[in-house]
Amino acid sequence: MTLKRALGLDTRAERYAYAVDPVMGYTAAAKIPDRWVSTTCGYCSVGCGMFIGVKDGRAVSVRGNPDHPVNGGALCPKGLSEHDMLHVATRARYPLLRRNQRLERVSWDDAIATMVRRFRDVTQTYGPEAVGVLSTGQLVTEEFYTLGKLVQLGLGTRHYDGNTTLCMATAVSGYKRSFGSDGPPGAYEDLERADVVFLIGANIADNHPILWQRLEANPGKTLIVADPRVSKTAMLADLHLAVKPRSDLALVNGMIHILIEHDLIDHEYIAAHTTGFEALRESVRESTPERVSEITGLPPELIYKTAVLYGNARAGFIGWTMGVNHSTKGTETVNAINNLALLTGNIGRSGAAPFSITGQCNAMGTREAGFTSSLPGYRKFECAEDREALAAIWRVPADRIPTARGLAYPDIIEAVLARKIRALWVIATNPIVSFPNLGVLRQALESLEFFVVQDGFHPTPTSDLADLVLPAAIWGEKDGTYTNSERRVSKVNRAVEPPGEARSDFDIFLDLAAAFGCRDELFPGWTKPEHAFEEWKRVSAGRLCDYSGMSYEAIETLGGIQWPYPAGATDAADTRRLYADGRFQTDDGRARLIPTAWEPFPEPPTADFPFVLNTGRTVEHWHTRTKTGEVPILDRLAPTAWLEMNPRDARALRLKPSHRVDVVSQRGRVRNLELRITETVAAGQVFVPFHWADFNANQVTQSAFDPYSREPNYKQCAVRVERTTP
């Protein structure tokens, strides 16, 4: 503090001055920009339209786009402070190479040459599939498309997956099994048009706040929320079903049982558009309200009431997020949800949809652009026709295209541990905080021969372990498109320059392609993301995710365009919902009704570990806090992790609100959590948010994965709670 300030002579009048901005009105003078740049929020997949205010080349403010069809000008706390994320001290600025145990600054030329040399060493010794790649949902679609081609045709490895497997892979697998393709069928306006909205394991008031506002715009709805916690969303529901952890699948099957028994199903729709009804009916015969009551802890009357409410809905909407996805039974639960919608004809109509609410801003883009669980444009690895069509567009021999997907995220980690993968390239993700069972992951990463982290932030707990750090531009610093949860493709625009020598991921990929010697073949003449977009349009043409009628200009003008939008399309409303014609992406055009079976979660409580740990998110932070942890207002709002415990359990353990606690499982311990004694969790359960590296919930979670999607079972494991010892 200066002497003038200490004496009260410096009131910092300039810093706290207000002025009138023609757009924002009366506001802090420091936030008034020279120009506004239109873009899309880079946090969650709601995909809010916004403007970045730029002054003297620096982002100084943001505001919601009042004309945007998604958010109508509103933004949540993360969006409102997004410009601050660009300036945090932990941005990655320069390429760094590990020498003598230290990361030292090197030139881009050195960085690229070293990566190519080390990757070549590995592939020459162990074969191309000794290289693995873990990507993200944070890049623009043009970058995902470029990366997919580079990895699988350039580097020649199939072992490429993304952190979307930690979040939405279950929805993808569920859609593919039920409908023959990935792709959320509904639209946000369904939240406003449904008369019954059923949210399962989805706390949208915290995690997708603008969708909550869309829901509030529907005063006539009945909102049912199934969640073991009394989340913010559950508090606002007409009916909260406080199910026991991971009993959602039993609940949905119980509802199907009641709907069939009471003939509240749409026989015409089932006959015309589905297969498998008899097997499904047989599979739920034992799911009586009494049996389901035992599993879920809900009274039979409540299960019955829920089923009848949904069964009688004019338009029923079912939304879900991680409460469903983060489970070894996740894919089957998605199939059960789809069964419920199909049996009642609640799909492809206004207000009626089963609908996965995606996590990251462009998790959808990576799913479309493919190369992880499918070929680009939702093509199938195993389909020769799909491979040939793609090869023809790319002018490469069809046998260059893999005939089966490579390893999924957890299996890549297993392969590293087994020394089958020797070099790993991690892009815009932070597995040291986000992957379950931290001890095993750390052991795997430490065994690598070469480990590259490409990220907009450094240091992160993951980049700290890298041999090479490539600094990348982030939201606000690059161009491209994101796809949101309702399949709306929106434009992302560069407003400012990246810090230091950071470069867009797109440019990094092209430089690597040049160094690997495949740029001219795979990316001829490409210099900007729009070149990737134009090729991607041709690759997507005729597919469910058809972009061929889009242009950057039209996307900007319309506030985003939902796919499919084929060449010649003029009205995006025509394809607002998938499957409006009742034709699905299966061989016979019919949706599959798939029998599913509830099972208890893999690690039940024991005498030593008597609580079920639930993990989740909070509105102020984003994933592992690389983006939000240094944003002052967000950090002040939620500076530390906590543990929620029911008062009855706290009394039994003689714990008081002022105490700090450790949560302990067979695998590890999270220390020194703030204790919140609250009835929002039931007795026998505890909750910890998963964002904090210092209080990493994944020190205690387990290595258990959904067999179809390979998504981790983050939501339930057995723990005990102890008072922290100093």
Chain residues binding ligand SF4 by CB under 6 A are: 41, 43-44, 46-48, 71, 75-76, 78-79, 208-210
Q: At its nearest, how many Å lie between ligand SF4 and the CB of residue 482?
A: 9
Q: At its nearest, how many Å lie between ligand SF4 and the CB of residue 188?
A: 11
Q: At its nearest, how many Å lie between ligand SF4 and the CB of residue 41?
A: 3
Q: At its nearest, how many Å lie between ligand SF4 and the CB of residue 358?
A: 10
Q: At its nearest, how many Å lie between ligand SF4 and the CB of residue 211?
A: 7
Q: Is the preceding peptide bond at 564 cis, omega within 30 degrees of 0? A: yes
**Within 497-589, where are the H helices?**
505-516, 519-522, 529-540, 552-558
Nearest CB to ligand SF4, comparing residues 78 and 246 = 78
Cβ(373)–Cβ(169) below 8 Å: yes
CA dist 108 and 110 (Å) reads: 5
Nearest CB to ligand SF4, comparing residues 54 and 85 = 85
Q: At its nearest, how many Å lie between ligand SF4 and the CB of residue 620?
A: 11
CA dist 481 and 488 (Å) reads: 10
Nearest CB to ligand SF4, comparing residues 555 and 643 = 555
Position with the least CB separation from ligand SF4: 79
Helix, strand, coil % in the chain, rounded to nearest 5? 35, 20, 45
CA dist 475 and 120 (Å) reads: 31
Nearest CB to ligand SF4, comparing residues 357 and 704 = 357
Nearest CB to ligand SF4, comparing residues 50 and 408 = 50
Q: At its nearest, how many Å lie between ligand SF4 and the CB of residue 475?
A: 10
Smallest CA-to-CA distance from 616 within 297, 354, 231, 171 is with 231
Q: At its nearest, how many Å lie between ligand SF4 and the CB of residue 67?
A: 15
Q: Rounded to the nearest 5°, which phi and psi values hold at 107?
A: -80, 165
Tokens of 192: 């406003």
Contacts of residue 49, Cβ cutoff 8 Å, sequence gap at least 6: 38, 39, 40, 41, 64, 65, 67, 68, 69, 70, 71, 490, 559, 560
Q: Rounded to the nearest 5°, which phi and psi values hold at 595?
A: -60, 140
Tokens of 269: 């729709």
Nearest CB to ligand SF4, comparing residues 73 and 657 = 73
Q: At its nearest, how many Å lie between ligand SF4 and the CB of residue 492?
A: 12
Q: At its nearest, how many Å lie between ligand SF4 and the CB of residue 710?
A: 26
Nearest CB to ligand SF4, comparing residues 41 and 423 = 41
Q: At its nearest, how many Å lie between ligand SF4 and the CB of residue 37?
A: 16
Q: At its nearest, how many Å lie between ligand SF4 and the CB of residue 684?
A: 33
In terms of C-beta density within 10 A (0-12 exposed, 13-18 middle, 19 or more buried), how is residue 277 classed?
A: middle
Q: At what angle do helices 141-149 and 529-540 cross, to 10 degrees?
A: 80
Nearest CB to ligand SF4, comparing residues 41 and 593 = 41
Q: What is the SS3 assignment for 217? A: coil
CA dist 702 and 436 (Å) reads: 6
Residues in the chain: 726
Q: At its nearest, how many Å lie between ligand SF4 and the CB of residue 689?
A: 16
CA dist 654 and 58 (Å) reads: 52
Nearest CB to ligand SF4, comparing residues 47 and 137 = 47
Nearest CB to ligand SF4, comparing residues 361 and 693 = 361
Smallest CA-to-CA distance from 313 within 255, 364, 228 is with 255
Tally of CA atoms within 13 A in the half-sphere of 19 that contains its CB: 12
Nearest CB to ligand SF4, comparing residues 43 and 381 = 43
Nearest CB to ligand SF4, comparing residues 41 and 130 = 41
CA dist 309 and 271 (Å) reads: 23
**CB count, 10 Å around CB of 21?**
18
Residues linked to residue 55 through DSSP beta bridges, in sequence order: 58
Nearest CB to ligand SF4, comparing residues 96 and 555 = 555
CA dist 621 and 142 (Å) reads: 26
DSSP-derived secondary structure letter, 725: P
CA dist 584 and 588 (Å) reads: 8
